[in-house]
A and B are shown apart, each in its own frame.
Chain A
Amino acid sequence: MTTTWFDPSTSAFEHRSYRVTHRTAYHYSATMSDGYTVVNVVPRNTEWQYVRDTSVELVPIESGSDRFVDVFGNIVHQFGLHEPHADVVVVATSSVDVALRPDPIDDTPWEAVVARLDSLTGDDAIDVGTFRAASTFVDLGSLGGTLREYAGRSFTDHRSVVDSARSLCGQIFTDYEFDADFSTVSTPLAEVIEARRGVCQDFAHLAVGCLRSLGLAARYVSGYIETAPPPGQPRLVGADASHAWCSVWTPQAGWVDFDPTNGHLPANRHVTVAWGRDYADVIPVRGVMIGPTAEQTLEVSVDVAPMP
């Protein structure tokens, strides 16, 4: 299956345009001699998204940088800093056009999708098959039974894969409480299930786990979402955040995104950065530094500004 990337100049679909600014600032309490930073902050082209321009800048000016496309097609930058430094700031800015997606249509019963997946060959065997496996944050070995049982409430006998996924998305949205203070970037899924709370990263892992536990293929998708200000108030610059959701593979509609944190299918307010097996494949900013033991503070701001 070859993917056709979205092209706003030829596409019949409406789109919205955004200017996204994602700033990540580290401060260390001591001076480091070397720093190495890997970032996944540049949006990629997708079936529903066209990236007009992007830039990633590091302050201080890096001593060497590398841009490469990873095995999933995401754009990764790696920076080396070999001057003494106590601050690292990564600023990524991008202009993107996001198409208004039509409602996905695929009435294949989900069991039939699983059977189809079991016999995929060619490029799909790799591009889709890879997303059926357990991964770092999606531990099917110990959670498989729990996840399957929970998913079973939406994935009932012979129900279409899209309807079932839409239902699972609503189910998670209803059952789980958003709680920014509960989890960290490394909270195991089991704790999230136990407490029934977390943030988008946790809910995306949960959804991915549910789908994979049934034998379906599911991706973890990272990006941003345009947030509307409260009625009557102006939009706050930099108050947005990085977001994550998930995507399920269907034979007719291809990869179908859904957002369990917000309980709906993304239309045209989601900007996609990257996808992978889970968070570990698409961590926005990570790295190591060489220097003395030091405290580090981290500030992140994201701004998703609609463009005319």
Chain B
Amino acid sequence: MSLTPVSSDRTPPLSPPDDLRRRLLDPDLLWQRQSRADRLLAAEGAGHLVHDLPVRADGRLATIESRPWRVDPIPVVLDTATFRWLSLAVAERMQALERVLVDLYGARQLLRERIVPAEAVAATEGYRINAVGSDPRRWLTTYAVDLALDADGMWWVVNDLTDAPPGLGYALLDRSVISRVLPDVMHGAPIASLARFPATLRRGLAANSLTDSPRIVLFSGGLDHPSYIDHSFLAVQLGVHLVEGADLVVRQRRVWLRTLDGLESVDVLYRRLEDPFLDPLATGARGAIGVPGLLQAERSDGVSLANAHGTGVLEERSLRRFLEAGIERLCPLEQALPMLDSPGRRLATVPLAPGSVSPDLHEAAVVLRMFAVYDGHSVQVMPGGTARVLAPGDDPALPTACTAKDVWVLGHTTAPVIGPRLPQVDFGWSVPTRATDALYWTNRAAERAEAMARTMRVITARMEQDPGLLGLHEGAWTNRMRGVAAAVRREREIDPFPDADADTLREELSFVGDAVAREIGSLLTEATTVREFLSVTAGRILSHLAELRSALQQHLTVVDDLDAVLADFAALAGLWQESTVRGPAWRIGDTGRRLERCLVVLDLIEGTLGSSDTCASVPWAAGAGDEVGAAATEVLLATNDSLVAYRRRYRSDVEVDQALHLLVHDASNPRSLAASIVRLEQHAADGDWSVGGDFIGDVRAALELPVDEMVPRVRSLVDDAGRRVVSRWFSTPVNPIAMNPTGHVE
């Protein structure tokens, strides 16, 4: 039994060869690399998008405790021999743990021989009594293990991760960041690629099913799960849908995905939710976030779980020494890695980039996480991983630092991917209902936020460019603009102040800024749950919006920031049009966008002309010529992004009737009500669904009404259509509620 790969004349493990080391540690570049890594990680959304707590569209709070972390730009480097040795040891350990699970839930010989005492097992939450007697094709499809190297060159196991092994998505994400921070360094060095591993994982997941081409989904705890970013990134890499409990339902002992087209069966659940949460019907289940009946379906072979229910028992710290004895009893290892006995053991250290943990820490110990998959035939260990930096005094076994390192394996070259590949799920079809719901609200929020930001931008610029407007007709323009600012955030009641001044308008605009921040928050939250539908570029834009949102919340916004917000929204809208697969999800998302755009136009018309009660009586609304009226009409066009179109078409001063024509009737103006109606009509025709009965005809008829009647009538039709979309597609309640259990009461 060798505890360490013995080799005399080589550099110590974890350290790169000299030339590579020089390039990685170049002091002139480290700062720059660190800040680039920070930026890229934030851009991937990982460090940023979710740790804030926005409200979801349905009013639920997303309670996320995800801490942003950093990736240090100096990877941990394993040479070929060390990796080979470690991967053999990890593979062997995974197989041994599989044997232990087979016994613990099957013959229970270890319990009978008291090698693992039944009383110790029964006292843990990890030992799932419902799983006793179950016989899955495989207990551990995936496995991760935390390893540490001590100062004497000996490797130790710190933790086995067997329940829902976390971190693979993070490892791939960290690599994608590092490969962009160090492209030149990586180019010159033979670093093993991780690109094949997601395919290996897919193969392993598929091997759990008897079906030829099984439907696989990644089952996550949703936004509230601390590893959500890990799940979300990995789902995209795997090409499978990310689903939550509410997306799934058990009927006839099978698991079904709720999609727009009805229920579709699922064969393999790559479940990243821990054992006690999987099924609220299980004995000792925690909460009601899982899928009721899931374990019954698993028992009846209606679905395969990877990993199987019950695998978390291996993570029970109180059982550690018994489980080690169990391994020894069932299948003595050739390359046993011992369990780290004391948190105080001196560990080997690696260099840190300046300031990646704290300014005065230049080197630190790391815990290395390696990932393994059983692919149906043998264990494959990923040639890479992730390393967690330990701050002085940290217990290696406990989750700690917010700094991670990429792990490079040198000289391990893999052949390019050839041979059969599993079919990818086409995201254009069979879309989970919840994802469509999120896309619908994402689009509505984006449209509204964009209109509000543009309104802020337009009015702020007018104030700055032409301060004379503020005093016009005893504040008439200012009051009018206050009305516009209120209307665009759907606030219709506003008292006109006599002699309204710049401050009252600025205050009103700051409310709009808050509302933009709120809409961006809800946009980010919804968008985060549908990452697989959004391009990588969209992710970057969203994370940029997250930064701008902070500025909005702190009222630090200047016109330039608003321009940046508007550019982001334009980019998002462009991606939505150009880079999203056309299908039911796109149609419903786009329906949301068009409905909201109709409401925006109506709100702005009303805000500019005055409320429907008064707009007919406002003298300038009837004709033109009045200074305030002209200035306000210009704002109406600008806030609808139609001023340029107006000027090109009419080549005249702004007149309210022509402006209204452009915004209401002119279908060649993409911002007009007419253009949105055409688009909605097309969606209704393309999909086997409608936005609601006679909606299109009714709206067309209403557009012909005088403006003071048209606005409330069309608004009520559009609101109604929006309600119909929601009730037709998204209103089925899907969250499990616990029945009150009965007791023993005599």
| Chain B neighbourhood of A10, CB < 8 A | none
| Chain B neighbourhood of A222, CB < 8 A | 744
| Pick from B122, B253, B744: contact of A243, CB under 8 Å | B744
**Is B133 within 8 A of A71, CB to CB?**
yes
Q: Which 9 A-B pairs have the closest CB atoms?
A: A129-B118, A244-B744, A133-B123, A185-B743, A286-B741, A133-B122, A241-B746, A288-B736, A132-B119
**Is B737 within 8 A of A291, CB to CB?**
yes
Tell me the complex Cα distance, A54–B633, Å: 80
**Is B741 within 8 A of A283, CB to CB?**
yes
Known: A34-B251, A120-B114. 8 other contacts (CB 8 A): A36-B293, A64-B251, A78-B296, A135-B122, A285-B742, A289-B739, A290-B734, A293-B737
| Chain B neighbourhood of A37, CB < 8 A | 739
**Is A185 within 8 A of B742, CB to CB?**
yes
Tell me if B212 counts as interface (CB < 8 A to partner A): no
Tell me the complex Cα distance, A37–B292, Å: 9
Task: Name the distance in Å between A221's Cβ and chain B's nearest Cβ.
Answer: 9
Which of A12-20, A155-163, A196-204 contacts the other chain? A196-204
**Most B-side CB within 10 Å, residue of A78, A122, A222, A280:** A78
The answer to whether residues A26 and B741 also contact, given A121-B112, A126-B112 and a CB cut-off of 8 A, is no
Q: List 25 A-B contacts (CB under 8 A).
A: A26-B739, A33-B733, A36-B250, A36-B292, A36-B293, A64-B253, A66-B300, A70-B129, A71-B132, A126-B111, A126-B112, A129-B119, A199-B746, A201-B743, A201-B744, A225-B746, A241-B744, A284-B742, A284-B743, A286-B741, A286-B742, A288-B281, A288-B292, A291-B733, A293-B733
- A-facing residues in B719-743 (Cβ within 8 Å): 732-743
Tell me if B249 counts as interface (CB < 8 A to partner A): yes
Task: Name the distance in Å between B457's Cβ and chain A's nearest Cβ.
Answer: 41
Tell me the complex Cα distance, A37–B293, Å: 9
Tell me if B584 counts as interface (CB < 8 A to partner A): no
Task: Name the distance in Å between B528's Cβ and chain A's nearest Cβ.
Answer: 25
- A-facing residues in B155-196 (Cβ within 8 Å): none
CB closest residue in chain B, given A286? B741
| Chain B neighbourhood of A130, CB < 8 A | 118-119, 121-122
Tell me the complex Cα distance, A78–B295, Å: 11
B238-272 to A contact mask, C-beta < 8 Å, 1/0:
00000000000111110000000000000000000
| Pick from A125, A261, A281, A293: contact of B111, CB under 8 Å | A125
| Pick from B252, B281, B738, B742: contact of A64, CB under 8 Å | B252
Task: Name the distance in Å between A130's Cβ and chain B's nearest Cβ.
Answer: 4
The answer to whether residues A281 and B283 also contact, given A78-B296, A286-B739, A288-B292 and a CB cut-off of 8 A, is yes
**Is A287 within 8 A of B739, CB to CB?**
yes
| Pick from A71, A80, A180, A225: contact of B250, CB under 8 Å | A80
| Chain B neighbourhood of A291, CB < 8 A | 733, 737
| Chain A neighbourhood of B54, CB < 8 A | none
Task: Name the distance in Å between A152's Cβ and chain B's nearest Cβ.
Answer: 21
Tell me the complex Cα distance, A275–B737, Å: 27
Tell me if A247 counts as interface (CB < 8 A to partner B): no
- B-facing residues in A82-133 (Cβ within 8 Å): 82, 88, 119-123, 125-126, 129-133
| Chain B neighbourhood of A125, CB < 8 A | 111-114, 117-118
Tell me if A184 counts as interface (CB < 8 A to partner B): yes
CB closest residue in chain B, given A26? B739
Tell me if A296 counts as interface (CB < 8 A to partner B): yes
- B-facing residues in A274-304 (Cβ within 8 Å): 277, 279-281, 283-294, 296, 298, 300
**Is B745 within 8 A of A200, CB to CB?**
yes
**Is A82 within 8 A of B129, CB to CB?**
no
Task: Name the distance in Å between B131's Cβ and chain A's nearest Cβ.
Answer: 9
Tell me the complex Cα distance, A63–B111, Å: 39
Tell me if B288 counts as interface (CB < 8 A to partner A): yes
**Most A-side CB within 10 Å, residue of B113, B252, B293, B742:** B742
Tell me if B284 counts as interface (CB < 8 A to partner A): yes
**Is A184 within 8 A of B743, CB to CB?**
yes
Tell me the complex Cα distance, A291–B736, Å: 7
**Is A298 within 8 A of B740, CB to CB?**
yes
**Chain A contact residues, CB within 8 Å of chain B:** 24, 26, 33-38, 63-64, 66, 68, 70-71, 78, 80, 82, 88, 119-123, 125-126, 129-136, 180, 184-185, 199-201, 204, 222, 225, 227, 240-244, 261, 277, 279-281, 283-294, 296, 298, 300
**Most A-side CB within 10 Å, residue of B132, B284, B745:** B745
**Is A134 within 8 A of B123, CB to CB?**
yes
**Is B739 within 8 A of A240, CB to CB?**
no
Tell me the complex Cα distance, A89–B733, Å: 22
Tell me if B312 counts as interface (CB < 8 A to partner A): no
CB closest residue in chain A, given B111? A126
Tell me if B108 counts as interface (CB < 8 A to partner A): yes
| Pick from A88, A129, A287: contact of B122, CB under 8 Å | A129
| Chain B neighbourhood of A126, CB < 8 A | 108, 111-112, 118
**Is B735 within 8 A of A290, CB to CB?**
yes
Tell me if B280 counts as interface (CB < 8 A to partner A): yes
CB closest residue in chain B, given A199? B745
| Chain B neighbourhood of A66, CB < 8 A | 253, 296, 300
| Chain A neighbourhood of B743, CB < 8 A | 184-185, 199, 201, 242, 279, 283-284
The answer to whether residues A133 and B251 also contact, given A185-B742, A292-B733 and a CB cut-off of 8 A, is no
Tell me the complex Cα distance, A204–B745, Å: 11
| Chain B neighbourhood of A82, CB < 8 A | 251
The answer to whether residues A242 and B745 also contact, given A38-B281, A132-B119, A135-B123 and a CB cut-off of 8 A, is yes
**Is B119 within 8 A of A133, CB to CB?**
yes
CB closest residue in chain B, given A63? B251
| Pick from B119, B736, B741: contact of A289, CB under 8 Å | B736
CB closest residue in chain A, given B735? A290
**Is B744 within 8 A of A133, CB to CB?**
no
| Pick from B293, B736, B744: contact of A284, CB under 8 Å | B744
- A-facing residues in B88-121 (Cβ within 8 Å): 108, 111-114, 117-121
| Chain A neighbourhood of B129, CB < 8 A | 70-71, 281
| Chain A neighbourhood of B252, CB < 8 A | 63-64
**Is A288 within 8 A of B118, CB to CB?**
no
| Chain A neighbourhood of B113, CB < 8 A | 121, 125
| Chain B neighbourhood of A283, CB < 8 A | 741-743
Tell me the complex Cα distance, A204–B293, Å: 30
CB closest residue in chain B, given A261? B746
Tell me the complex Cα distance, A151–B254, Å: 49
**Most A-side CB within 10 Å, residue of B119, B133, B292, B299:** B119
**Is A290 within 8 A of B112, CB to CB?**
no
**Is B732 within 8 A of A33, CB to CB?**
yes
| Pick from B251, B288, B300, B732: contact of A288, CB under 8 Å | B288
CB closest residue in chain A, given B252? A64
**Is B745 within 8 A of A180, CB to CB?**
yes
**Is A136 within 8 A of B284, CB to CB?**
yes
**Is B744 within 8 A of A204, CB to CB?**
yes
Task: Name the distance in Å between B125's Cβ and chain A's nearest Cβ.
Answer: 9
| Chain A neighbourhood of B123, CB < 8 A | 133-135
The answer to whether residues A288 and B733 also contact, given A78-B281, A80-B293, A279-B743 and a CB cut-off of 8 A, is no
